[in-house]
């Protein structure tokens, strides 16, 4: 069997290790404490352990489970992977649901594959057309869809508060690198790609052509499209091999995780020692600065909040670097919250993704600014502010509305999180909270 036609590890049999197949949920509840769906809805039937029990019960009588039931169950997960990381039994529930999606494909899988694989034309076109749409502030689904599409437009109103004073040119001297920009940067956020290319060149790296690189495959896998995911992985791996296995640099947490998981896929036809070489070659750009020096210039009323992407799984290398540069100019919520992106969940359950985003925004904005003694005021209801993220049937006290003199800027290190947060950003003091990738605040 050739590498291109090899079966993928995302089949139910190969996606789980022997330990996972033998293990069973022990109802310890550790997944409950980290699941963004439960934390946002407080519905215990939506916890990973509850869904595990449902799947286990239905395995004994598969006739009880209809295709519509499978679809509804699969849509109640955002594939953040937090439950898998905390499970003492090593169960990977998001992968189980991905297998379920693959076993019961429908129009959502068809649509998502085209959204990812044919987005080179579709994304820029929609982004351009959305500029003509009015800046609507309603709550209906059509308005929110327009807001999500408008979020694809590049940020032009975020100043570069960090500039590179001196580059450590010895870091990349004599080394070749492939910049893995990912779908979002290649299609609608090209400034991230251009800035990253400039940074790497200034650090001494020789950049190699990247025209053969494609989607990392992670979102396709989660969507239940394992064949498309496998095809993307093989294409990226062939490009790396053809370039003689250079450094692979990325600036997106989701892309980094998707690429890092390649080594678990034995169907990619790895040569001896190649998996280890791949792992060593994969680097976030935020870890390559060496002894470079920076200058920082932020206004006194600016509060920079950092959203930690779920796909870093608690080891956020971007935030570690930003904290070293910005010190107390930047802060992050004590407990990281999922933004609600969820990939294909945007097609299947947008109401759920919005509810999760609301909780994320509460954590991002409700902590008092640390740069002065001003205290957020939650007593005055404001039109079109944080409460506009909630549906009418959601319970919300008016004291959750925010009126803050300080100006908030939210940055993150994930392409998908950036778009989701932009599309759901609340309004404070009459202006929508600005959201950007951390590359947006850097002047190379």
Coil vs helix vs strand at 178: strand
Per-residue buried b or exposed e for 108-141, using 16+ beta carbons within 10 Å of the residue's own CB: bbeebbebbbebeeebeebbeebeeeeeeeeeee
State the pLDDT at residue 431: 82
Per DSSP, what are the bridge partners of residue 377?
403
- Burial group, residue 317, by CB count within 10 angstroms (0-12, 13-18, 19+): middle
Q: Can you tell me the distance from the alpha carbon of 187 to that of 120, in angstroms, rounded to the nearest whole number?
A: 6
C-alpha 64/C-alpha 427 separation (Å) is 46
Residues 250, 256: contact at Cβ < 8 Å?
yes
Burial class (CB in 10 A: 0-12, 13-18, 19+), 432: middle
Rounded to an integer, what distance in angstroms lies between the CA atom of residue 220 and that of residue 227?
A: 9
Whole-number pLDDT of residue 62 = 59
Token digits of residue 418: 């950036």
Tokens of 427: 């309004």
Report in angstroms the alpha-carbon separations of 71 from 75, 241, 361. 6, 38, 28
Cα separation of 114 and 394, whole Å? 34
The CA–CA distances, whole Å, from 47 to 15, 37, 80, 319 equal: 21, 7, 13, 29
Q: Comparing C-alpha atoms, which of 282, 328, 284 is closest to residue 306?
A: 328
Tokens of 237: 């791996």
Residue count of the chain? 444
Written as tens digits, the pLDDT of the chain (444 aa) is 333 333 333 333 344 444 444 468 888 889 999 999 999 989 888 888 888 777 776 666 656 656 556 667 667 888 899 999 999 988 888 888 888 888 878 888 888 888 888 888 888 888 888 777 666 555 666 677 787 888 889 888 899 999 999 999 999 999 999 999 999 999 999 999 999 999 999 999 999 999 999 999 999 999 889 999 999 999 999 999 999 999 999 999 999 999 999 999 999 999 999 999 999 999 999 999 999 999 999 998 899 999 999 999 889 999 999 999 999 999 998 777 899 998 888 877 888 888 999 999 999 987 544 544 443 433 323 333 444 444 444 444 334 444 446 789 999 999 999 999 999 999 877 788 999 999 999 999
Q: Taking the model in full, what pTM does it have?
A: 0.85
């Amino acid at each position: 069997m050739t590498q291109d036609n090899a079966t993928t590890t995302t089949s139910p049999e190969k996606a789980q290790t022997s330990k996972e197949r033998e293990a069973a949920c022990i109802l310890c509840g550790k997944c409950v404490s980290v699941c963004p769906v439960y934390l946002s809805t407080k519905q215990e039937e939506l916890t990973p352990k509850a869904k595990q029990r449902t799947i286990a019960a239905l395995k004994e009588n598969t006739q009880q489970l209809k295709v519509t039931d499978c679809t509804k169950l699969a849509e109640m997960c955002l594939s953040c992977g937090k439950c898998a990381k905390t499970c003492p039994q090593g169960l990977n529930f998001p992968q189980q649901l991905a297998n379920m999606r693959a076993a019961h494909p429908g129009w959502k899988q068809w649509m998502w594959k085209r959204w990812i694989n044919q987005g080179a034309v579709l994304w820029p076109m929609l982004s351009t057309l959305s500029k003509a749409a009015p800046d609507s502030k309603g709550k209906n689904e059509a308005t929110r869809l327009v807001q999500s599409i408008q979020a694809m437009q590049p940020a032009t109103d975020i100043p570069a508060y960090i500039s590179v004073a001196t580059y450590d040119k010895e870091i990349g001297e004599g080394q070749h690198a492939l910049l893995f920009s990912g779908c979002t940067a290649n299609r609608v956020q090209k400034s991230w790609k251009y800035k990253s290319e400039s940074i790497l060149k200034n650090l001494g790296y020789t950049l190699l052509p990247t025209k053969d690189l494609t989607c990392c495959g992670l979102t396709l896998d989660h969507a239940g499209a394992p064949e498309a995911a496998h095809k993307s992985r093989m294409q990226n791996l062939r490009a790396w091999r053809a370039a003689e296995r250079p450094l692979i640099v990325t600036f997106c947490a989701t892309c980094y995780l998707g690429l890092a998981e390649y080594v678990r896929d034995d169907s990619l036809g790895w040569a001896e020692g190649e998996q280890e070489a791949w792992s060593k070659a994969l680097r976030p750009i935020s870890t390559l600065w060496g002894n470079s020096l920076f200058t920082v210039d932020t206004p006194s009323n600016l509060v920079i909040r950092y959203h930690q992407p779920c796909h870093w799984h608690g080891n956020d290398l971007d935030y570690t670097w930003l904290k070293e540069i910005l010190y107390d100019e930047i802060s992050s919520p004590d407990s990281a919250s999922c933004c609600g992106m969820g990939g294909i969940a945007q097609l299947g359950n947008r109401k759920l993704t919005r509810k999760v985003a609301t909780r994320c925004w509460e954590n991002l904005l409700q902590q008092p600014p640390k740069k002065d003694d001003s205290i957020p005021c939650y007593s005055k209801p404001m039109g079109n502010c944080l409460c506009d993220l909630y549906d009418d049937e959601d319970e919300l006290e008016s004291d959750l509305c925010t009126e803050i003199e300080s100006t908030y800027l939210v940055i993150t290190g994930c392409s998908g999180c950036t778009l989701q947060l932009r599309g759901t950003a609340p309004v404070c003091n009459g202006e929508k909270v600005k959201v950007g990738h951390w590359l947006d605040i850097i002047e190379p």
